[in-house]
Every structure is written in structure tokens, then in C-alpha cells.
A and B are shown apart, each in its own frame.
Chain A
Amino acid sequence: MEFLSNLVNGISLGSVYAVIALGYTMVYGIARMLNFAHGDIIMVGGYICFIVMTSLGLPSIVGILAAVVVCTILGITIERVAYKPLRSAPSLAVLITAIGVSYLLQNLALLIWGSDPKSFTSVVSMEPLRLFDGSLVITGETIVTIVVSAIIMAALTLFVNRTKVGHAMLAVSEDKGAAQLMGINVNATISLTFAIGSALAAVAGVLLCSAQPSLLPTTGAMPGIKAFVAAVFGGIGSIPGAMIGGVLLGIIEILSKYYISSQISDAIVFAVLIVVLLVRPAGILGKQIREKV
């Protein structure tokens, strides 16, 4: 029963990682860049929702919507201002710029909201679910997180595979030049990718803060890195890969925290990643690309 409860918690945490990893992987697939500021969008989403709910006293749904809107605009703005001028620059230059943006967001948050943790009020008001005569208790947050993440993943998969815009995204990620020749607006597609990724990050932020209700300017950093790991784990650039990678990562983290040691659970997560990459150098679902000679 204990195992089951840990498993459920792992899936819950993993679904949040998966939602964040989707943003990472989509941006990587389309812009070939590691957007290190992605984790900090999560934090911004958390703060926006917090302000709307706690300071303005509005209902949680307004908070969530506000977080999504603000993060979407933020994501598009960052892409336009900081990344777009570097489209043809070496990837490391873009990476450093992304790190700069990450510093910027964290320090802006520090200036605006201060360094003391804000206690986030959960957006979930659902009663915990008691199963097996109360021996397995699943909190409302856990259930909502899993359900919301599943809906997002399903919707995103449908969007990418079934709509014209989704196909445009796939085309741009395959070959920017060819996509442009086919009449696809590459810049708009990239903006849209950032918008979707940031909106997902906002949702992830709200879910994450509901489960772990302490909000700091650095809140997004570690989940950001782990989601990045999850994306690579599943094969970066692959949408189903990000989902599988995220969920697996969450399960491994929670189980090793519980059964091995809470102190070195992160070390175990990273060790598993290394082993996976050594066996499958392009991640679980990644394509191994052979260089043409």
C-alpha cells in the first residue's frame, strides 16, 4: 500500500515534470536551443497566481488564467527580444543569453517579491481520496495534477498531429528552410511554440506550488533542470518522449527518496539518466541521426 501511495505521488510529480519538459522539448525541436529560462517561467506563473489569489483575493480560476496569460506574453516577449536576433548565432551564444534571461527573471522576482518564501494557497479544494478503508490516501492536489497533466498531454498531441498549425510546427522542426519555401511563417510558428511552452510552464507552476506551497524566486530552477533532464531522458525534441521521461523521472525520484535515501535521491535520478543515455545515446524515443559523409 505504501508502495502504491509512493507510486501515485511519483506519477503526480512526474506529470508536472512532463508538462514542463514538453515546453523544453518543443522549443528545442523547433528552435534548436536549450531554453534555460524555461524553469523561471514556472516561478513567474506561481507568483502571478499567488498575487491574484492572495493579494487581490480573486478566485483561483482567475489566478490560473492570469498566470497563463502573463507567462504566454512573457515567453513571446523573451523570444522576440533575446532569442530572435540570435537565430543564426552559434548555439552556445543562445544558451548564454538564455542563462542571462534566467538570471534576469530570478532577480526581478527577488526585487519585486523579496527573498522570503510566500506560502502559496493551493488552488485545489478537492477532498483527499481514501481507498482501501483509508490505508491509501491520495490528496486532491495529486489527483488534479495527474488529471490536468493528462488532459494537457492529450490535447497537445492532438494539436500537433491533427491541426494545420501543428503540422507547421512539425515541418519547421524538421527543416526550417524547406518549411519557409512551403509558405509556412517560420517566425510566427516559433513564437507560437514559445507561447505554448510558456503557458504550459504557467500551469506547471501553479500545480507545483499547490503541491509544495512555498514560493521563492528560485522555485523554478530545480524543477526546470529536472524537466530538462526528463526531456533528454525521453529523447529531446520528441513530444511523447518528454511525457514518458517526465513521468519516469518523477517515479524514480519519489521511490528513491522513500526507499533509499532522501539526501541522494537527486543523485540517483541523474545516475539513471546517465545509464539510459549510455545504453540509448539519443534518449528513450530519440532518433539517432547518422552523419552523412
Chain B
Amino acid sequence: MNLKNISRTTRQNLVTYAIVIVAFAVIQVMSAAGMLSNSLTGQLIPICSYIIMAVSLNLTVGVLGELSLGHAGFMSVGAFSSAFFSVAVGDALPTWLTMILALLIGTAVAGVFGILIGIPVLRLQGDYLAIVTLAFGEIIKNLLNAFYIGIDGSGLHISMKDANALNMDESGRVIIKGAQGITGVNRMSTFTIGFVLVLITLVIVLNLIHSRTGRAIMSIRDNRIAAESVGINVTKYKMIAFTISAALAGMAGALYAHSLATVVAKKFDYNTSILILVFVVVGGMGNIRGSVIAAAILTVLPELLRSFSDYRMLVYAIVLILMMLFKQSPQIRSFCASVWERLRFGRLQAFFDRKKAQNTKKGA
């Protein structure tokens, strides 16, 4: 009994890993055979970063139970800090090392932002917490849009006016150019790197959930007062969940940034946060495998709907609404169940009738 059930959660996790690995292998084979369209190939790295985003947001929304509407803000922080680093370094270091360091920096900086933002945000509850995460996301976007940062012999120069106001010497280079963002990013991200990062994310989040810390986090979600009554430090575990979630989003941002030549803040606005939230909810709250699948399918879906061209986002919206209605509405669900029951019963009835007919024929 004991062992069987323990292995059930492990088995569940293994299935999740297997799905990701098999999907990766299949895509590699298809890609080698030239079966992937250009537009689909271009989607591979974004899919990986969105999967990481969805899984990490699920940690905040599904596991901790706090609604965050500013997850893209952390992605943005990761993207800008890592791209800033790789552009500043240029080709002074080998590419692989630059990439690894860029990923680490993106993750770490976003993690620090997670702590800084988490301290005020996690004091609030429910819809108020949600609106403040939205506010932080917008603030990050707004500030990144306004900043000019350059680097020269004497160090960093920061301005909020324009590039000239940086007052740099001849060796100076402007790296962040306000609303134009960071240009000339080395496109070092590959699908394989993305795949590895997805696996790392899954290991971190799945292991976390099935550990002492994960249980403490989920107990806060299920009943904060009861969690306190058994000695759970609510603030601490909220912070742990929020920070890990932010750091992973930063990693996704670093991955994404290095698949683009130009990184602009506008890419990581409120709409992106909402998009990720949609992945999480459609995949199922607290369901990590669901997040992976939903993120992959919903990112590809608009591409697959390309033949509808103008109608594709419309179809996307309708699919989203219908999915929520069918998943959540008791009336619609019971209606579907009764239709299904009737169909199944009808078919069985027909089957038995046929049998009976055969038997009587035989008997005769």
C-alpha cells in the first residue's frame, strides 16, 4: 500500500519528464527530416520559455494560491539583465560561458527582484495582491522603457533622458536605449538549451512540491490559519515560493532574450502575464504537467490556425471561453455527461439487441 502510493507520485512525475523528453526527441527528428515549417522552428525557443514561465507561475498561483498578474515583469528583468551582460561582454568570453553566465545572471537578478517585490506584495491578500503584482509588472515595463544605460572606461552611466545625456567618453557604448531596448543581442539560445532548462525547471518545481517546503507552501494555500496553528512560518514560505517562481521566470527571460536580436520592454507587458496565466489555468491549477502541455499547445495553436489568418486570434478567444465553460460549469458538464451517457447506453443497448437477435437466430 505504502510503496505503491509513493511510487504513484513518482510515476506521475516520471510521466511528465517522459512527455517532455519524447517531445524533444520527436521534434529533433522531424527537424532533421525537414518536416518543420520555418515559422514552427522559430517557435521552439519561445515555447520552451513559455513552458518555464507557466510552470513557475503555477508555483505562485496553483501551489501557493496567490494570483499574480505581473509574472512577465520578472521575465523582463531576466531578459534585460542577461542581455545587458552578454552585450557588455561581447566576445571577450567563449560563447558557451557567456550563455551560462547570462542565464545565471538573469535568474539571480529576477530572484532578487522577487524578494524585493515579495516583501510588500505578500503582505496583501487576494485581489489586492493580484493588482499590486500587475502594478509592479507595469512599473518594471515603464522604467525599462525610459532608461538609457551605457558603459565606458569609467564604468556605468545611467540616464532617463536620452543617449547623449549619458556623457560617456569615446570608448562608451550605449547598451540599453530606452524604448528601443537592447539591440545586437547575440542569438545564442538553442532549442537544446531550452529543453535542458525546461527539465531543470521541472526537477526544481516537482521536487519542491513533494518536499517539506512544498507541503508547507500548499498548507498556506489550503488554510492559512490552520498552517499558522501548526507552526508554519507563513511569510517565509510565501517568500520562498514567490522568489523561486520569480527566479525561474528570469531564467525563461534570459533564454528568450537570447533568441531575439533586440530585446524591448514592450514584449513583457501585462498581456504576456495574462497569456502565461491562461496557460496555467487551462492546464490546471497546481498541475505542473498541465502547464507544460497547455503552454506548448497554446503557443503553437495560433501558428496552426494560420490558415484562418485573420480569424485565428478570434478562434483562440472562443476556444478559451468554451474550454472554461466546459471545464467549470456544472450545468454544461452535467448536460454533456447525460448526452454521453445516452450515447453510450444507446450503443450498448444496440449491441445487446444485436446479440440477442443473433442468439435467437442460432437457436432457430
Contact = CB atoms under 8 A, between A and B. Distances in A.
A140 B86 CA distance: 53
A111 B320 contact: no
Interface stretch (B30-38, B136-144, B185-193): B136-144
B161 to A, nearest CB: 9
B320 A96 contact: yes
B313 A103 contact: yes
A34 interface: yes
A270 B130 CA distance: 13
A108 B311 CA distance: 9
A153 interface: no
Nearest to A28: B127
A92 B131 contact: no
Report whether over half of chain A's contact residues are helix, strand or loop; otherwise say mixed.
helix
A154 interface: no
A110 B315 CA distance: 13
Interface in B305-364: 310-311, 313-314, 316-318, 320-321, 324-325, 327-332
Nearest to B67: A92
Contact of A97 (B143, B270, B324): B324
A82 to B, nearest CB: 6
A111 B132 CA distance: 33
Interface bin, chain B: 35 or more
Contacts of A85: 325, 328-329, 331-332
A151 interface: no
Given A111-B311, A291-B225, A92 B61 contact: yes
Given A99-B278, A111-B310, A291-B225, A264 B138 contact: no
Nearest to B329: A85
Interface residues of A, number: 43
Nearest to B332: A85
A239 B135 CA distance: 22
A90 B328 contact: yes
A281 B131 CA distance: 12
A278 interface: yes
B282 interface: yes
A270 B138 contact: yes
Given A100-B317, A100-B321, A274 B281 contact: no
A100 B314 CA distance: 9
Q: Which of B61, B139, B311, B327 has the most CB of A within 10 A?
A: B139
Contacts, number: 127
A282 B138 contact: no
A108 B134 CA distance: 26
Interface in A240-293: 261, 263-264, 266-267, 270-271, 273-274, 277-278, 281-283, 291, 293
B320 A86 contact: no
Given A86-B325, A264-B142, A291-B225, A96 B136 contact: no
A93 interface: yes
A26 interface: no
A264 B160 contact: yes
A228 B69 CA distance: 13
A86 B128 CA distance: 22
Contacts of A228: 131
A93 B281 contact: yes
Contacts of A236: 127
B28 interface: no
Contact of B123 (A108, A232, A273, A281): A281
10 contacts: A86-B328, A86-B329, A95-B281, A99-B277, A103-B316, A261-B160, A264-B160, A267-B139, A270-B136, A281-B128
Given A104-B314, A278-B123, 11 more contacts: A88-B330, A92-B67, A97-B324, A107-B317, A111-B310, A263-B178, A267-B143, A270-B136, A273-B132, A274-B132, A278-B120
Interface of A: 28, 34, 82, 85-86, 88-90, 92-93, 95-97, 99-101, 103-104, 107-108, 110-111, 225, 228-229, 232, 236, 261, 263-264, 266-267, 270-271, 273-274, 277-278, 281-283, 291, 293
The 7 closest A-B pairs by CB, nearest first: A103-B317, A270-B135, A85-B329, A267-B142, A100-B320, A89-B328, A104-B317
